[in-house]
Amino acid sequence: MTALAPTLQGFFVERLAGQLGASPNTVAAYRDTFRLLLAFAAERTGTQPSSIEIGDLDAPLIGAFLAHLEHVRHNSVRTRNNRLAAIHSMFVYAALRHPEDAATIQRVLAIPPKRHEKNLVTYLTEDEADALIEACNRDTWTGRRDHTMLVLAIQTGLRISELIGLTVADITVGTGANVHTIGKGRKERRTPLVPHTVEALRAWLTERGGNPADPLFPTSTGKPLSRDAIEHRVALHVAKAEQSCPSIRDKHVTTHTLRHTCAMRLLHSGVDITVIALWLGHAQVTTTSIYLHALCRPLDYADLCCARSAFPGWQGVFDLVWGVVLGIVAV
């Protein structure tokens, strides 16, 4: 056994779990990163994973691994950067324990994340969100469960992992109605609930029953819904919603889209960006700033048509604006 094995073990047990208190999702993501890295290094060097030294994981090999992720595994730049962040974290831990590999470690730590274009967030309009919620067949148990889950997700902006982790005890529908969640980095927060969400949750809790520790949105067997199951249910309801709201067909809607929808609703309502960051459980306001860019999206013809019909006396002004946009009217 080389020094790499005990170093990895110490990193996961002592550093991630003990000192940082990393969530199970973070630990799983880091574990997958090193599983992929060691498999790649073993194939590239012709060495058994148990025989790989820290010095074998030099900057050229890490660079080749990152290229492999993008071009062979077709990972996004964001995923590639997340894998690199996991590697950097482990090498920082290893630096103080293996000074003999200091030069190799420093060169790996010098590998920068890759810059990439950030797409504007996709979110649902009021009509699209309503159509999605109404697509749930409330004549069935699963339909009523999904209806409540979608109402809660759109109003609170919970992450899919937070939805999965909710228990019956996490919901307060009385005075000071709120939902209690443990988000990224094991950070707790309580998100206020509006009346129509409280009404939906109260009805679901009455039907659902169970113990306080039971999952809020279970499968038919009582187990928590998985990520794939939730995304599958959302996709089914989106397909049905297309019949009454065709515009939703042009959007790639996932559970995270509902989180974006919540954020944009708050922003449109004039809520300060720092408050939205707290609402969503963002560690930094810079993460929340993506919604400011989405708010400043290019002018859309449908927007002008709505405004033109809403303010008849201003039709000439709106026609002039659209003429400028199209280049028909010179300025």
Give the per-residue SS3 of 101-150. HHHHHHHHHCCCCCCCCCCCCCCCCHHHHHHHHHCCCCCCHHHHHHHHHH
One of 83, 98, 144, 282 is an active-site residue; which one? 282
Instruction: Return all residues near 54 (Cβ < 8 A) that are at least 6 apart.
Output: 2, 3, 4, 7, 94, 98, 101, 104, 105
Q: Is 44 a catalytic residue?
A: no
Rg (CA), the chain: 25
Please give the Cα distance from 274 to 276 (Å, whole number). Answer: 5
One of 107, 240, 256, 308 is an active-site residue; which one? 256
Q: Is 97 a catalytic residue?
A: no
Q: Is 260 a catalytic residue?
A: no
Please give the Cα distance from 208 to 199 (Å, whole number). Answer: 14
One of 68, 184, 189, 202 is an active-site residue; which one? 184
Please give the Cα distance from 115 to 220 (Å, whole number). Answer: 44
One of 80, 208, 259, 265 is an active-site residue; which one? 259
One of 83, 98, 159, 233 is an active-site residue; which one? 159
Q: Which helix (H) or strand (E) holds 86?
A: helix 77-95
| Structural tokens at position 41 | 């290094």
- Provide the residue count of the chain: 331
Contact predicate 200/155, CB 8 Å: no
Q: Is 107 a catalytic residue?
A: no
One of 30, 93, 123, 291 is an active-site residue; which one? 291
Q: Is 256 a catalytic residue?
A: yes
Q: Which one-letter DSSP state was computed for residue 314?
A: G
Q: Is 159 a catalytic residue?
A: yes
Residues labelled catalytic = 159, 184, 256, 259, 282, 291
